Chains A and B, each alone.
Chain A
Amino acid sequence: KAGVTQTPRYLIKTRGQQVTLSCSPISGHRSVSWYQQTPGQGLQFLFEYFSETQRNKGNFPGRFSGRQFSNSRSEMNVSTLELGDSALYLCASSPGLAGETQYFGPGTRLLVL
């Protein structure tokens, strides 16, 4: 089976712009979670989608949003980018039940100038 893929792998944007990141889960997985990793704040949970519905959400402002499509692919969007949004964005997929192993993609590294 192919692993979790994320596109693009690297991205440079300027303040005020918006960005959309994509995550394709492992075939058959219905849950996709998103995480942000920065040197200052460490790893933080953004949100989780299961069967096209947001199931859990972390403590992030409304500028961060996401969605999941019927094929389980997920996108996350960040509007009005700030310098502090520069980070590694990771997505992970799992079959969807609690306690099941999450499989992570390689991440998208976003730099906001």
Chain B
Amino acid sequence: GIQVEQSPPDLILQEGANSTLRCNFSDSVNNLQWFHQNPWGQLINLFYIPSGTKQNGRLSATTVATERYSLLYISSSQTTDSGVYFCAVGYNNNDMRFGAGTRLTVKP
């Protein structure tokens, strides 16, 4: 089946720093989403981005489907950005496969 790899697995930043999270996938996909899970377990959908670039405030995402990767940019990070960021791809029979996540810690 399709492989979804996220890097880095862990990231520690000082408040105000910028960061880039990466998601690589091994096969063609129908869609791609980015999620954030806060330290209390609440999951939030950030972007639905099968291709192209989207921006929402301090967050933006770019997917290059032909090269099988997606990037999530976080600018001017805040402590509330801490948590785990997941990418998930939809493929073939509309199954979804999640990456293992990037755990982000933003220190004040």
Q: Give the interface residue-count category, chain A.
A: 20 to 34
> Within the complex, which residue of B42, B45, B98 is in contact with A102, where a contact is CB–CB below 8 Å?
B45
Taking CB atoms, residues of chain B closer than 8 Å to A42 are: 98-101
Q: In the bound complex, what is the Cα–Cα distance between A107 and B101 (angstroms)?
A: 18
Q: Does B73 contact A (CB under 8 A)?
A: no
B98 touches A45 (CB 8 A): yes
Q: How many residues of B contact A (CB 8 A)?
A: 20
> Within the complex, which residue of A43, A44, A57, A101 is in contact with B45, where a contact is CB–CB below 8 Å?
A101
Taking CB atoms, residues of chain A closer than 8 Å to B48 are: 98-101
Taking CB atoms, residues of chain B closer than 8 Å to A44 are: 98
Give the top 8 A-B pairs by smallest Cβ distance, nearest first. A45-B96, A43-B98, A56-B94, A104-B43, A102-B45, A99-B48, A101-B45, A42-B100
- List residues of A whose CB falls within 8 A of some B CB: 42-45, 55-59, 88, 90, 92, 98-104, 106-107
